[in-house]
Structure 1
């Protein structure tokens, strides 16, 4: 069982830009310390944002076109010489694989999470 984190306020949540994106590109990332791929995501902001994501249990072709839930305003992070601009949300399954989170029904690209 995991322990709950300390309480946050609604204002903490409201500062996060969490929205629906669509995976439009997946590239190998052999320089990453942990097995990862480079993922291009359309987040409805008139540009593609990139993420280093530990989602290597998926085939790249299976990820393309998939809707995902992303945090878009953490700021860029340098990971092995690659600029990761957003965080794709996921959770580990019983086997320890990261499962990408996405909407259960069709939602517009860029739609904010509230």
Structure 2
């Protein structure tokens, strides 16, 4: 039997309000000033600028993360993570068989244009 999903919402009330864009990770390093190990990622969103994000994508080696295309929410407010502040939320899903919160990326299947909007 299928699990019940969350209540029905409408595009105009939800997705239309989110600014989800494609970015390229240009620098990545292990961050230890957060409650759990995370990566500090500098992401280029083209005409939308460069932003910093912290995320628990550490099951991926650094060399696999650098230059990766990702999808991120640009219009959430900044989020404190210990002593650092994340400017954008990089989208991810649970990494297989990893601790809760450890993620793998949601990425375009092809080399999409930097700054392009999810629709």
Equivalenced residues, count = 114
- 1:24 corresponds in structure 2 to 26
Q: Is the 2:41–2:53 contact (alpha carbons within 8 Å) kept by the matching residues of 1?
A: yes
Q: 1:4 aligned to 2:5?
A: yes
CA distance in 1, matches of 2:106, 2:83: 26
- 2:76 corresponds in structure 1 to 74
What runs of 5+ residues in structure 1 fail to find an aligned partner?
A: none
User: How far off its partner does 1:69 sit?
Assistant: 0.8
Q: Is the 2:43–2:52 contact (alpha carbons within 8 Å) kept by the matching residues of 1?
A: yes
User: How far off its partner does 1:7 sit?
Assistant: 2.1
What runs of 5+ residues in structure 2 fail to find an aligned partner?
A: none
Cα RMSD (Å): 1.7
The match for 2:110 among 101, 105, 108 is: 105
- 2:91 corresponds in structure 1 to 89
CA distance in 2, matches of 1:25, 1:52: 12
The match for 1:43 among 38, 42, 45 is: 45
User: How far off its partner does 1:5 sit?
Assistant: 2.2
Question: Does the residue aligned with 2:46 lie in a helix, a strand or coil?
Answer: coil
Change (3 A) 1:34 1:5: farther
User: How far off its partner does 1:79 sit?
Assistant: 1.3
Q: Which runs of 4+ in 1 moved over 6 A?
A: none
User: How far off its partner does 1:47 sit?
Assistant: 2.5
TM-score scaled to structure 2, two decimals? Answer: 0.86
